[in-house]
Amino acid sequence: MSNIDPDKMVDQLTRPIRKTSAFYYVVVLALLMAVCWGLFAWTCQLTRGLQVTGLNNSVAWGVYITNFVFFIGISHAGTLISAILRVSGAEWRRPITRAAEAITVFALVLGASQILFDLGRPDRALNVILYGPLRSPLLWDVVCISVYLLSSIFYLLLPLIPDVAILRDQRLVLGWRKELYRILSFGWDGNPEQKRRLEKTIGIMAVLIIPIAVSVHTVVSWIFGMTIRPMWHSTILGPYFVVGAIFSGIAAIIIAMAVLRKVYHFEGYLKPIHFNYLGLLLLTMTALWFYFTLAEYLTIGYGALPEEWHVFEAKVAGEFALMFWIMVGSMTVAFFLLLFCRSKWPIGGTVAASLFIVVGMWIERYTIVVPTLVKLTGRGYPPGMYYPSWVEWSITGGSIAGFILLYVLFVKLFPIISIWEVEESEEAVVEKLANMKRYFPCVSSAPTES
Amino acid sequence: MRVVGTDRKLVLKPPKKRLLTKRGIELMSNTEIIFQTPGVGGALACVVIVALVVCYGFTLRWISRGREDQTGEPPR
């Protein structure tokens, strides 16, 4: 990395912003069409009511809430991973942090919008603020997600400032973009005092964002966990959701990185070693996910309380068994791919495992949300049934397309690999080697000092 | 009427005038009221969000002013 000339690096990393291929327009158009189809389906739902969905009195939460939990999980990709790597001083993070942080912001926006789709009457979302009592987990969720979204935008914006200043000073960038970069660079000229202040703020935010991110998915789990319903009312649900979120988040980063690498030829920046390291993290999280899943299902199955048994049976051997075992199968395939193929084919192996994980995690969210509501009998509830309609699938498709579209537009406006952080990687190497000298006292002179 | 005084002498005194009735004090001291009252949570949420926006805004301004503080020139 250090062999690349700084000017050449700026040129390479800003090329996606300066040059637009025909393929880019085709992708944007296709995504726009999918988003429009999703909006059309939502319009149908708004005009004709929730009767056009598969939702009913018994099963009021379906695909939309599954998407909500899924997107909020994906949102843990960026900010949390980036913050953990930053705090732990993992220097290999430098080219991947921005791609990850952008995922967080867009996944949060799309995740929060799922609640509006589920409400049927979006204007009633305001009722949480107007009439929400402090003891309501829904209100906790609104607060946590708002705080996380604001903090993630801020955390994305901070390391963007020096790069935006580079774009502001480029002669080729003109018009409204120039004005946008001028505003977002906040008068940056890279003097030591500004740099000191920026790095100090990023350092503080990296620490602060970790508990915020953990709180978000814990509170999302409490929406389920605070209700006294079978297989929801569980103390393990908070950590289980957080582990699942980090798990799916890392998988999302790997997919995004592989696409960016291929499309924009970032082979010199996103190297196999990055995929290998992220693959290792993913392997650890896969093992943790299996541990939590086993702990949850074994405890419930062994206890076999009548109320929980209905739901458990439906998941493992009943009407949701196919989905459940596809989920377990996906995770198993991902685990072995990461275990055996990661070091040989770091990119292909980790990307394939990530695809299995993303699909598996969506199914996992579905099998958490829906079976409990469908099988909630014996307390005066009518027997439930739920078959998602075309409206729900269309809105889901539109949401995924919207997420990708926002990401694609972001890549068009801002460098997706942090220029200044990669530029400083040479200094980081020197610093790291000097630190290593301190770890190993038998090394008499630091190799970098020569 | 309430009984006050020492072991040796007990005196009967009229009750002091209070702004709230005993029931009112009971209610106010009950923290559950705060948790149950509609809108209290929403108001607190708004306060947290606005405070955060202001805090982040000032931090950006502080970073921006790094140039001015060092060179005396205002940021571009």
DSSP string for A236-296? THHHHHHHHHHHHHHHHHHHHHHHHHHHHT-TTTS-HHHHHHHHHHHHHHHHHHHHHHHHH
Q: Is residue A431 one of the residues assigned to a domain?
A: no
Which mean pLDDT values do the consecutive 10-residue runs of chain A (450 residues) have? 70 84 93 96 94 88 94 83 82 86 92 91 87 85 92 92 88 80 87 89 90 90 88 90 90 93 89 90 93 93 88 91 95 93 86 95 94 75 82 96 95 90 78 76 54
Instruction: Examine the domain organization and report whether B15 and B46 are in the same domain.
Output: no
Instruction: Examine the domain organization and report whether B29 and B45 are in the same domain.
Output: no
Q: How many domains does chain A have?
A: 1
Phi-psi domain of B59 (left: phi exceeds 0; alpha: psi -120 through 50; beta: other): alpha
pLDDT of residue B20: 62
The CA distance from A118 to the nearest CA of chain B, in Å, is: 21
Structure tokens of A283? 């392997």
Number of alpha carbons in the 13 Å side-chain half-sphere of residue A371: 27
Q: Which residues in chain B touch residue A420, judged by CB atoms under 8 angstroms apart?
A: none
Residue with the bigger pLDDT between B27 and A237: it is A237
pLDDT of residue A1: 46
Strand partners, B2: B13
Question: Please, what sign has the CA dihedral across residues A50, A51, A57, A62?
Answer: negative
| A132 contacts B64? CB cut-off 8 A | no
Q: Which residues in chain B touch residue A147, judged by CB atoms under 8 angstroms apart?
A: 48-49, 52
pLDDT of residue A425: 75
Interface test with chain B among A131, A134, A149, A152, by most B beta carbons within 10 Å = A134
A240, A292 Cβ separation under 8 angstroms: yes
The model's pLDDT over B39-74, given as tens digits with 9 standing for 90+, comes to: 788 888 889 999 999 999 999 999 888 766 556 665
Q: Is residue A448 one of the residues assigned to a domain?
A: no
Select from A364, A285, A297, A331 the least CA-distant residue to A69: A364
Instruction: Examine the domain organization and report whether B25 and B9 are in the same domain.
Output: yes
Strands (E), B1-76: 2-5, 10-13
pLDDT of residue A449: 45
| B48 contacts A143? CB cut-off 8 A | yes
Structural domain span for residue B54:
39-76
Is residue B32 scored above 60 in pLDDT? yes
pLDDT of residue A15: 84
Q: How many domains does chain B have?
A: 2
CB pairs under 8 A between A and B: 99
Instruction: Examine the domain organization and report whether B31 and B48 are in the same domain.
Output: no
Instruction: Examine the domain organization and report whether B56 and B68 are in the same domain.
Output: yes
| A136 contacts B66? CB cut-off 8 A | no
A134, B41 Cβ separation under 8 angstroms: yes
Eight-state DSSP code of residue B43: H
Q: How far apart are CA A399 and CA A421, in angstroms?
A: 32
Phi first, then psi, for residue B2 (nearest 5°) are -130, 155
Instruction: Examine the domain organization and report whether B50 and B71 are in the same domain.
Output: yes
ipTM: 0.81
Structural domain span for residue A291:
23-421
pLDDT of residue B15: 61
Structure tokens of A207? 């620490």
Q: How far apart are CA A87 and CA A81, in angstroms?
A: 10
Q: Is residue A16 one of the residues assigned to a domain?
A: no
Instruction: Examine the domain organization and report whether B64 and B43 are in the same domain.
Output: yes
Q: Is residue A12 one of the residues assigned to a domain?
A: no
Among candidates B38, B45, B66 on the partner chain, residue whose Cβ is nearest the Cβ of A143: B45
pLDDT of residue A2: 47
Instruction: Examine the domain organization and report whether B53 and B29 are in the same domain.
Output: no
Q: Which residues in chain B touch residue A124, judged by CB atoms under 8 angstroms apart?
A: none
